[in-house]
Structure 1
Amino acid sequence: MKICFLMYPWDKVDPVSDSTLRLIHEAHLRGHTVAITTPTKLTIRDTVAYAFCQVLSRKIVAKTPHSLHKNASFQTKMLPLAGFDVIFLRANPPVDPVALNFLDSVKDSVFIMNDVDGVRIANNKVYTAALNDPDKRFVPTTHVSKNREYLERVLADAPSDRMILKPLDGYGGSGVIVIERSASANIRSLLDFYLGEKEDRYVIMQDFVEGAEEGDIRILMLNGEPIGAMKRVPADGELRANISRGGREVKHALSKAEKALCKHIGPKLVRDGLYFVGLDVIGGKLIEVNVLSPGGITRINRLNRVKLQRQIIDFAETVVRAKEMQAARKTAYRQAIEDAVAEG
């Protein structure tokens, strides 16, 4: 296969923990042609979408992701996006809407992980907040608004003294804070900061889930099914359990509630073309769906002595084979019709 990773620059890759590097290494081991590019290197030539790519040399022998990162050799080429079998969308959030526009032109002929339209609807926290959950089994009560008075009223009427406040388009735990009704004197200034002077930024206010101070669960989902999980424990004095915020990971087996959540959301993820995502879960409640560059592969691998990247590349290969078989059948059927007409 010919695989393009639309990602962050190669010099930003952390060889110790980077999930994308594990996927690249697995694809390279299998003999696939691997190219990497960034959203800033997309271009149009004669109405065709291209990217200035770094094509990984097939001559590199690398038994481990670390050695691949250290010894990688690239050739820079301008390549048509439609020539790839698979495009892995692994750029860091927030989503680049222009990059998605480039991908629109090839989404019908190239398998994109994740689907362009799916990424559009799920790239911020509204996707989680609006999940169909009438019985409130899987999602904490969530409010999304720009209206300061409404948000102040939400806090005043909340059943608990504590709520979570965070920006709609944040990632990696950025901007997540706990607000308390007892400290209401500070709420207006906090909302001024989060909403902006013109109240032009959406924020999320969400019920505080008990146990959040003990950490969260990252679940990796592939084609609607969980393939691995870990618990992230926050550093001392920190609410956020993100590894980038000093959290640490520990081994985790899915609870009954977490399995029920995966079963509930899995079919929707597949319908939306979100084949590889990360779920952030606290107390069996879905906090966030990560659809751009979900991480955790390396740490889950180490904790469980597995290689999740094999399952992910297996899935991509299966999808491409199915598309090729469908195209071959279509060609054969068309030829059969041509032959029948010619005989008549």
Structure 2
Amino acid sequence: MKICFLMYPWERVSPETDTTLRMIHEAASRGHTVAITTPNSLTIRDSVAHAFCNVLRKTDKLTSNIPAFYRRAEFKRCKLPLAGFDAIIMRANPPLDTVALNFLDSVRNDTFIMNDIDGLRIANNKLYPASFSGDASRFIPATHVSKNREYLEHVLRDSPSGKMIMKPLNGFGGQGVIVIEKSARQNFRSLLDFYIGSGDQGNYVILQEYVSGAEKGDVRILMLNGEPIGAMRRVPSGDDVRSNIHAGGKEVKHQLSKEEKELCRAIGPQLVRDGLYFAGLDVINGKLIEVNVLSPGGITRINRLNRVKLQVPVIDFVENVVSAKERVIERKSTFRKVIEDAEAI
């Protein structure tokens, strides 16, 4: 199998903790051809989408030590047609590069892309949880989004809780997430001026119901093909409300509760329908706060906490999808040959 990882630059990989590196190592250990590229390396030649790729050189024996694998990795630089890959695994960091998705549009019928292009377009923002309906809607906290200062002040004033969570719509990694106390409303307009900005456009701001227990951290659940495959609890450090690892939080072992399993069963089918086969759910006290679909992380930490290798089922899934597509093509070719032979009689 030939796999292309569309990701951040290789030199920015953190070998001790990087989730993408675990996937690359697993694919390489199975003998697959592995190429890595970045959104800035996409190009078109003669109306065909290509990428300037670093193709991992194969070795007789691959070390099981992943940081050592990272340090020893050797690549060959090539310009390759994207349609020649069996699978393209999207692992670029936020924010979403919509131009990169436009390049991939032309090859979506030729190669399996994880996650799906349209799924990324609709889900790579903090509004996506609001699209869940039916039984899934009971797991979504009340959320308000606007750039209208007066409206947001009204929302805070009328909130049944003494505090709310405020964050920018286009933030990631815990950036800009703060707790707003109703008792400190005199500072709220100034904060809105900062978050929304000046000018005719401005930035959207999210005001969200404060979920009790948020001060104790959140749970990151990794979903594969609509099913949970691993989880960890992320605990804030000191007085910081944010539990994101990049914001100073730490991870601890976690077993999914009955309510969290129900949440996964309710959310999973829509993730699959939207082509979001590998996603990270951020959950607080049984409420879905965010869905991470572009480059969800956590594999390394969950592996360490539970002595598992979650990259194994991820690459298993990619192999199974590609194999199923190949069987369909082979079956179609066989039936066409039968028809051609019948016409020749």
TM-score, length of structure 2 as denominator length:
0.98
Contact 1:129 1:143 (8 Å CA) reproduced? no
Structure 2 Cα separation of the partners of residues 135 and 83 of structure 1: 38
Map 1:202-217 → 2, pairs under 5 A: 202-217=204-219
Partner of 1:140: 141
Partner of 2:336: 334
RMSD in angstroms over aligned alpha carbons?
1.1
Structure 2 Cα separation of the partners of residues 88 and 56 of structure 1: 15
Instruction: Give the AA of the match of 1:226.
Output: P
Contact 2:136 2:267 (8 Å CA) reproduced? no
Q: Does 1:247 align with 2:249?
A: yes
- Residue 52 of structure 2 aligns to a residue whose secondary structure is strand
User: What are structure 1's unaligned runs of at least 5 residues?
Assistant: none
Partner of 2:298: 296
CA positional deviation for 1:136 = 5.1
Instruction: Give the AA of the match of 2:31.
Output: G
Equivalent pairs counted in the alignment come to 343
- Residue 139 of structure 2 aligns to a residue whose secondary structure is coil
Partner of 2:123: 122
Partner of 1:88: 89
Structure 2 Cα separation of the partners of residues 25 and 127 of structure 1: 31
Partner of 2:233: 231
Q: Which segments of structure 1 move beyond 3 Å, counting only runs of 4 or more?
A: 133-136
CA positional deviation for 1:212 = 0.3
CA positional deviation for 1:61 = 2.6
CA positional deviation for 1:129 = 2.5
Cα distance, 1:50–1:253 mapped onto 2, change above 3 Å: same
- Residue 231 of structure 1 aligns to a residue whose secondary structure is strand
Partner of 2:24: 24
Structure 2 Cα separation of the partners of residues 189 and 146 of structure 1: 14
CA positional deviation for 1:137 = 2.1
CA positional deviation for 1:202 = 1.0
Instruction: Give the AA of the match of 1:4.
Output: C
CA positional deviation for 1:133 = 5.1
Contact 2:135 2:266 (8 Å CA) reproduced? no
Contact 2:27 2:34 (8 Å CA) reproduced? yes
Structure 2 Cα separation of the partners of residues 135 and 338 of structure 1: 50
- Residue 110 of structure 2 aligns to a residue whose secondary structure is coil
CA positional deviation for 1:108 = 1.2
- Residue 249 of structure 1 aligns to a residue whose secondary structure is strand
Partner of 1:78: 79
Partner of 2:259: 257
User: What are structure 2's unaligned runs of at least 5 residues?
Assistant: none
Structure 2 Cα separation of the partners of residues 109 and 49 of structure 1: 12
Structure 2 Cα separation of the partners of residues 334 and 205 of structure 1: 57
Structure 1 Cα separation of the partners of residues 75 and 3 of structure 2: 14
Q: Deviations over 1:208-247 (max 9, x none)?
A: 0000000000000000000000000010111000111111
Structure 2 Cα separation of the partners of residues 301 and 209 of structure 1: 28
Structure 1 Cα separation of the partners of residues 147 and 81 of structure 2: 41
- Residue 210 of structure 1 aligns to a residue whose secondary structure is coil
Instruction: Give the AA of the match of 1:169.
Output: N
Q: Does 1:179 align with 2:193?
A: no
Structure 2 Cα separation of the partners of residues 320 and 116 of structure 1: 17
Partner of 1:46: 46
For residue 315 of structure 1, the aligned residue among 307, 314, 317 is 317
Cα distance, 1:28–1:142 mapped onto 2, change above 3 Å: same
Instruction: Give the AA of the match of 1:338.
Output: E
Structure 1 Cα separation of the partners of residues 127 and 98 of structure 2: 17
CA positional deviation for 1:17 = 0.3
Structure 2 Cα separation of the partners of residues 130 and 115 of structure 1: 17
Structure 2 Cα separation of the partners of residues 202 and 92 of structure 1: 21
- Residue 63 of structure 1 aligns to a residue whose secondary structure is coil
Contact 2:85 2:111 (8 Å CA) reproduced? yes
Contact 2:2 2:87 (8 Å CA) reproduced? yes
Q: Deviations over 1:283-332 (max 9, x none)?
A: 00000000011000000000000000000000000000000000000111
The more displaced of 196-205 and 285-294 is: 196-205
CA positional deviation for 1:134 = 7.2
Contact 1:144 1:202 (8 Å CA) reproduced? yes
CA positional deviation for 1:144 = 1.1
Q: Deviations over 1:39-58 (max 9, x none)?
A: 00000000000000000000
Instruction: Give the AA of the match of 1:3.
Output: I
> Percent identity between the aligned chains?
66
TM-score, length of structure 1 as denominator length:
0.98
Q: Deviations over 1:38-79 (max 9, x none)?
A: 000000000000000000000263222111101000010000
